[in-house]
Structure 1
Amino acid sequence: MYFYMYGLLLLFDKVVFSSASSSGLPVPVVQGLGVDGDTPVDCLKANDMCNTNPQCSSSYRVMRQCLVGRDRTSMLANKQECQSAMEVLHDSALYSCRCKRGMKKELQCLQSYWSIHMGQSEGEEFYEASPYEPVDSFRLASILSGVHSSTLRATTHCLDSTRPCNPCLDATKACNLNDTCKRQRSAYIATCNKSPAPAPADTCNRKRCHKALRQFFDRVQTEHSYGLLFCSCRDSACAERRRQTIVPSCSFEEKTKPNCLELRRNCRLDPLCRSRLADFHTNCQMSSESTNSCPNEDYQACLASYVGLIGTDMTPNYMDSTPINFTISPGCTCRGSGNHEEECERFLQDFRENTCLRNAIQVFGYGTDRPKPATVPPTTSTKPDQEVNVRVTKPTLNTSEMKPDEDPCAYPICNDLEYGEKCNPSCGSKDPWMEIIEPESGSLSLKAHAWMWITCLTPLLGLLTL
């Protein structure tokens, strides 16, 4: 009899435990990390998908006809038809497609992107969204970690003020020890210094020079190319070598500087230049909500976007041989802007007074930036009637060794070498540790499960004593 009752209890226990498990909270899934349909396809695939859909392909042809001429002006003649076509394309993969930097057929992908997005609104926007997929933070962090390691190894003698120190010269030597870097660097230097046959000796083929520069930064490992471009300097000789990295006499300088707004207008006529400029504004635009003035506090993405501009009509460079308080700008001026001078100065300010870009270069050069994990969004997929409590814990800063008025986190960047170790853990990275707290329903079901056993076993123990 006792064995029979014990078997019934085991069977009842299995049923209760199964029901309790089924009502528990599922494992949280972070959106964007899995195949959830939110990941945009590249614009080449999106274009092929649209061609297989009669409605999408017809609307795409109408949109292309609406955009014949200078950007959006021709849409005004037949606005209703163009607007209807745009509404159809808004629900297609073409609207949310993106391109990858350095992908095969990158130019064709960018052309497909802009064929849709330059017709979304009338007039010219000051900032445009980047057509590129977000930068892989883990990949860039590992790359820059390797660069920092090699930079610190090569410039340890810079800690001794009595010895000569030229990190840019060290970066050049490191490049010459790498076959790919040496070959590609020699190629663009030769191209940018070569004058066309019928032209005077003081001219060069700028288009070929720009193409050679793009090939260098696309094909050479970032460990070597970034070292040449962002090396830290403490004297003018080093800074001048850094400025001469892209052969500015051909790739950057002109006898008569163009107007910046005109240069931007010409840049936006070229899909590649337009895309790289939009990417720069997306990743290097100064943000008051960030401790280091960069969007999402991401130095790496800003540096990659800056490098992407080199070899386009909007090629930027160091303006002089100032080692520390340097100024970066495209080769243009705001003279002759007329009534648009304020807009021109604002555009130029994004380069010359860009604290995000300046901090990124300085932090990279001194090797004080630390790889930070990609920010994980706190959004989780749950059932409508269940909630997940998220508790965010942050590391605390030990300020016992600091004076009350010497808080390094009060500055826009945490790249002061003296306080780097103290500041970086708390304000150098805003990435929180996320702790998922299970709802009370799960613990209540376990309590009910234990209470059932106690209630049922107590009478049995009483019978056994009899």
Structure 2
Amino acid sequence: MGLPLLLGLLLARAGGLVLSLEQPHNCITAENLCMTDPSCNATYLTFQQCSQSLAKSSYEAKDKCLEAKTFIRNSYFQECKCPRRTRKKEERCLRIYWTIHPTLPQADFHLEVSPYEAAASEESSKTKYNKLATQASGSRVFGDSTNICLEAANVCQLDHKCVRLRTHYAQICSAEYPCDQRKCHRGLRHFFERVSMEITKPLLFCPCQDDVCGKRRWNTIVPECSFQSNSKPNCLLLLDSCLKDHICKSRLVDFQEQCKSLDTSSDGCFRRNNHAACLEAYMGMIGTPMTPNYINNSTADVTLWCSCENSGNQKEDCDQILESFADNRCLKSAIQSQMGLNQVNTDIEDQSQFTPSLNIQGDGTSTVFTSQMYQGSEEKKFPVLKDNQSDLTGSSRDCRSSLILTSTLLLLLLGPP
């Protein structure tokens, strides 16, 4: 049993107190703590039943709902957030978060703060990617003429999880069959959630210098099914469908927060040097009703598949939605920075370039994948770095401190009044 949960149980039994000494960071943990506290549990059930119609039915009901809202927001749920891309638990956690923080878009189209925990601020190590790139190239150095987009496709083919999940979404999103966009989007989300970003980022943001390469990169999101339709829907309708889905709404808020632009910033971002977090948030939008993609094969500009025609007096609001992707300086800067990672600064990154192997599938110009799955063994786990041993020592000290704190609480709570 974790320390926050144990402390919550002790304090709840001691006097029905709502606040624990350490606020839980996960909304699922917060809900579990609340359920063990009779006072919090009863108020939480009341809060969940407080719809707008009930709140407006009488002053008494309205006051009751406001009281429950204040109580819950200052209880275990006060600081709770949701982990990023946690598959099955993500939707449950987000449901709890939006129950506590119901919101509608403001006049400027922006929502409240992101429900997700803080994003990684630095690029992750590319050890695995470099190892697979070396394997794909046959260890033949060929300088700057390496086709990085083809290399990224070949690396995916050598990673069991990447090729399996990519083949899966390519099959269910194929234009040769009736398109079920919801299934296609789900397959795309699973791909970008479960495959390491050190593999998916080069696949999605590789720099292209010709139309064939651009079309291969564009088709990573299978535009015929997931991105395009017979006619462009209105962007306001696209936003409305997104706000009805907890995952899409959450990732949109995260995108707005991480990729917020600022004209006076050198890189166009409100948060300077936030490119990695911005790209992660952008990739989170892929596989939602607001799935973005490149505008064409020859540029790095992205957009939503929607239009602001016939928006009436909401034309300005509609334009904001479309421009948040198509004219976002921070996002453009982050994409350009990512695309240049493997091309420049060779003095800083002393990294060999390799020519891609010609006998590996994945360099086609459409989303047609080989039906034969890569049958290699599961990837081997890399050993833990030696530096982690010192972390273990620190963890032991933290554990002893936690036990001392728990024992002290037990003596105080169970001792004589």
Do they superpose with TM above 0.5?
yes
> What residue identity is the alignment partner of 1:320?
N
- Aligned-residue offset at 1:158: 6.7
> What residue identity is the alignment partner of 2:84?
R
Q: TM (normalized to structure 1)?
A: 0.62
Higher Cα Rg, which structure: 1
| Closer, same or farther: CA 120–38 of 1 in aligned 2, 3 Å | farther
Q: Which runs of 5+ in 1 are unaligned?
A: 1-35, 196-200, 369-414, 422-466
- Aligned-residue offset at 1:331: 1.4
Greater Cα shift, 56-65 or 181-190: 56-65
Q: Give the whole-Å Cα distance in 1 for the aligned partners of 2:193 and 2:38.
A: 38
- Give the fraction of aligned pairs with identical amino acids, expressed as a percent: 36
2:244 maps to: 269
- Structure-to-structure mapping, 1:48-127, within 5 angstroms: 48-67=32-51, 75-77=55-57, 78-103=61-86, 104-118=88-102, 126-127=110-111
- Aligned-residue offset at 1:62: 2.4
Q: Give the whole-Å Cα distance in 2 for the aligned partners of 1:131 and 1:217.
A: 19
**1:239 corresponds to 2:228:** no
Q: Choose from 169, 189, 192 the match for 2:173.
A: 192
Q: Give the whole-Å Cα distance in 2 for the aligned partners of 1:37 and 1:354.
A: 41
Contact 2:188 2:287 in 1 (8 A): yes
- Aligned-residue offset at 1:297: 2.1
Greater Cα shift, 306-315 or 94-103: 94-103
Contact 2:218 2:294 in 1 (8 A): yes
1:142 maps to: 124
- Aligned-residue offset at 1:352: 0.6
Contact 2:303 2:322 in 1 (8 A): yes
- Aligned-residue offset at 1:275: 0.8
| Closer, same or farther: CA 144–178 of 1 in aligned 2, 3 Å | closer
- Aligned-residue offset at 1:252: 0.7
Greater Cα shift, 219-228 or 49-58: 49-58
1:3 maps to: none
Contact 1:194 1:205 in 2 (8 A): no
Contact 1:168 1:227 in 2 (8 A): yes
Q: Give the whole-Å Cα distance in 2 for the aligned partners of 1:419 and 1:113.
A: 45
Q: TM (normalized to structure 2)?
A: 0.69
Q: Choose from 273, 278, 290 the match for 1:314.
A: 290
| Closer, same or farther: CA 256–38 of 1 in aligned 2, 3 Å | farther
> What residue identity is the alignment partner of 1:297?
N
Q: Give the whole-Å Cα distance in 2 for the aligned partners of 1:207 and 1:228.
A: 23
Contact 2:24 2:77 in 1 (8 A): no
Instruction: Specify the SS of the correspondent of 1:310.
Output: coil
**1:330 corresponds to 2:314:** no
Q: Choose from 160, 168, 172 the match for 1:179.
A: 160
RMSD, aligned α-carbons: 3.1
Q: Give the whole-Å Cα distance in 2 for the aligned partners of 1:112 and 1:215.
A: 22
Contact 1:292 1:359 in 2 (8 A): yes
| Closer, same or farther: CA 73–319 of 1 in aligned 2, 3 Å | farther
- Aligned-residue offset at 1:313: 0.7
Q: Which runs of 5+ in 2 are unaligned?
A: 1-19, 349-417
Instruction: Specify the SS of the correspondent of 2:320.
Output: helix
> What residue identity is the alignment partner of 1:354?
N
Contact 2:175 2:224 in 1 (8 A): no
- Aligned-residue offset at 1:250: 0.6
Q: Give the whole-Å Cα distance in 2 for the aligned partners of 1:73 and 1:188.
A: 42
> What residue identity is the alignment partner of 2:162?
C
- Aligned-residue offset at 1:308: 0.8
**1:248 corresponds to 2:223:** yes
Contact 1:151 1:367 in 2 (8 A): no
Q: Give the whole-Å Cα distance in 1 for the aligned partners of 2:37 and 2:104.
A: 21
Q: Give the whole-Å Cα distance in 2 for the aligned partners of 1:60 and 1:44.
A: 14
| Closer, same or farther: CA 265–243 of 1 in aligned 2, 3 Å | same
> What residue identity is the alignment partner of 1:85?
A
- Structure-to-structure mapping, 1:341-380, within 5 angstroms: 341-367=315-341
> What residue identity is the alignment partner of 2:144?
L
1:159 maps to: 144
Instruction: Specify the SS of the correspondent of 1:312.
Output: coil
Instruction: Specify the SS of the correspondent of 1:131.
Output: coil
